Structure 1
Amino acid sequence: MTSLSSVTDVAHHLARLLGARPSGLFSDFDGTLSPVAPTPDSAEAAPGVSETLRQLASRVSLAGIVTGRGVDDVMRRVAVPDLLYVGNHGLEWFENNEHHVHPAGLEAEGGLPEALREIEHRLEAHVSLEGVIFENKRYSGSIHYRLTTEPGKTGDVLEPIVQEIASEYGFWVSDGKMVMELRPGASVNKGSAVRRIVTDRQLKSAVFLGDDVTDADAFVVLRELRQELGVQTCSVGVLTLDTDQRVIDNSDFLLDGVDDVVSMLLELVDLLPEVTDQEDPE
């Protein structure tokens, strides 16, 4: 997909697709439901998002947030209890007051602080740390450099340092919008999380919205599930100034930023009837 889609066209397509039940609607948070913020702590859900998600949760069999943030962090920002929350790119799950952590996440918890400290020490020898944010998300870590005076230079210096130290500690590295992530070596990502959700719940339809390269993992899996199991799926990419080409290439539709996402979800609320227990037996 390379061209922008209209909000109304996307909403109508998703409404038809989600008529196949059990149905699932899932979204990333940062850059999709929340404008990209200067720092992780300053991000907020866009106006109206929480209420819209609350209404959508009663119109699909399962609604959820799948994010790189920790579960506790994103739950505070979204504040909708009736959702599935998958955090740390699939390492954390929270639903019905039950919190589960992948074994790889528990193993990573001990070495992560030391790895981040070593990256910080090594980076400081080459560039200023002003504007660099080291984020320990307990089961994974992020190094943000959006606020540095020269993000391009900082990123170039940072990448080999992160790769080397990640290898020493058994972490896997992924990149995003002016951020590098340390994750456990296990093959856990948003794609594996979406596959688990769809297969465990035997969903007949599934939608994912996202804006960054980690969301493209989910887009790819949805296409695979469409081909392998006949699940009706749709991937909605969200364009920003620095959208990765992998997001564009693997999207079925493209929306222009968070405002378009919110508008589309509002239209979707009006198009979808509420799900009843008779329609969706658990």
Structure 2
Amino acid sequence: MQTTDATPLWLARETVADRLAAAPGVVCCLDFDGTLAPIVDDPDAAAMPPGVRERLVALRDCESVRGAVVSGRELADLRERVGVGGIAYAGNHGIERRIDGGRSVAPDARLSADAVSRVCDRLGDRLAHVPGVAIEDKGLTATVHVRNVPDERVPEVGRVVGETVEEVMTTGDAALEIRDGKAIREIRPDVEWDKGRAVAQLAEEAPDGWLPLYVGDDVTDEDAFEALREHDGGLGVLVGERETAANYRIERQRDVVELLELVVDAQCE
């Protein structure tokens, strides 16, 4: 991964605002957990603050902006939590998408659904004794949450996940992979689809010259930041601070509303 010292957005606010205003349009792609919604201990409790929702609706109503939410969450869950029509959604890290009312699934991903389900069933038994662990079967992918697991037990969870995935793959034809995120282990079909490919496709489908923007906080968002580095002039904004392929960073999730306001001011006024 090509990393940089991402520039704090407040230091480059005028530069970014000028680029947004100079573009004929913006493809505004946003992660959900940790970006549109604060990170919470219970993933089922995640919700967008009213100010974020208002600006997302404003972007949806702007003719020169195409909005999209790109998340590791299952598509149906993501759409229900965001609840804004007229924008694109990419769930399960882009494996399933809904654009203009039509749903599509990445080729070959469906073939792994049964294997993912078997992994979840076995992990439910094998990790039942570990306090705080949560296993989320998302149909095409699965997430093992370790945010509430004692630190000294997290390596045990990772070992059991790895052994179980390997075991399931040796007894079937499906190929799976494990990816790490913030306090999670993601189990996915081993197909060439991730947030980066989803964002790249959304950018390619936009009119010529439109500026792609991606905002995210998780390690899994680095795929999208990398994709924008390959796209001439794309902007990546990290929420938080770490080594990243993003161009800019903002410190906290609550700063996302100000970033969205920059896009609104540049394109919708």
Where on the TM-score scale, by shorter chain, does this alignment land: which range? 0.7 to 0.9
* C-alpha displacement of 1:262: 1.0
- Residues 107-116 or 35-44, more deviating: 107-116
Gap runs ≥5 in structure 1: 227-231, 275-282
Q: Secondary structure at the match of 1:134?
A: strand
Flag the 1:263–1:11 CA change in 2: closer, same or farther, 3 A.
farther
Cα distance in 2 for partners of 1:197, 1:71 equals: 16
Do the aligned partners of residues 68 and 106 (structure 1) sit closer, same or farther apart at CA in structure 2, a change above 3 Å counting?
Answer: same
Q: CA deviation at 1:185?
A: 0.8
CA RMSD in angstroms, aligned pairs only = 2.1
Map 1:46-125 → 2, pairs under 5 A: 46-59=49-62, 60-124=64-128
The number of residues matched between the two structures is 258
Q: Report the Cα offset of residue 91 of structure 1.
A: 0.8
Cα 1:203/1:91, change in 2 over 3 Å:
farther
1:107 Cα deviation from its structure 2 partner:
1.4
Q: CA offset at residue 23 of structure 1? A: 2.9
Matches within 5 A, 1:156-235: 156-167=155-166, 168-169=168-169, 170-201=175-206, 203-204=208-209, 205-226=211-232, 232-235=233-236
TM-score (norm 1): 0.84
Q: 2:30 & 2:18 partners in 1: Cα distance?
A: 16
Find the counterpart in structure 1 of residue 245 from structure 2.
250
Q: 1:174-210, CA deviations, whole angstroms, 9 ceiling, x for partnerless residues?
A: 0111110100011211011112222233553100000
SS at match of 1:208: strand
What is the CA–CA distance in structure 1 between the aligned matches of 2:135 and 2:14, rounded to whole Å? 38
Q: 242, 253, 266: which one pairs with 1:271?
A: 266
Q: SS in structure 2 opposite 1:65?
A: strand
Deviations 1:133-162 (A, max 9, x none): 1101111000101112x1x22321122222
Give the 5 Å matches for 1:141-156. 141-148=142-149, 150=150, 152-156=151-155
Separation in structure 2 between the aligned mates of residue 133 and residue 220 of structure 1, nearest angstrom: 30
Q: Give deviations 1:80-113, integer Å, cap 9, x for gaps.
A: 1011000000111112221111233311222222
Distance in 2, matches of 1:119 and 1:68, equals: 19
State the AA in 1 paired with 2:202.
I
Segments of 4+ moved more than 6 angstroms: none
Q: CA deviation at 1:68?
A: 0.3
Tell me if structure 2 keeps the 8 A contact 1:189–1:217: yes
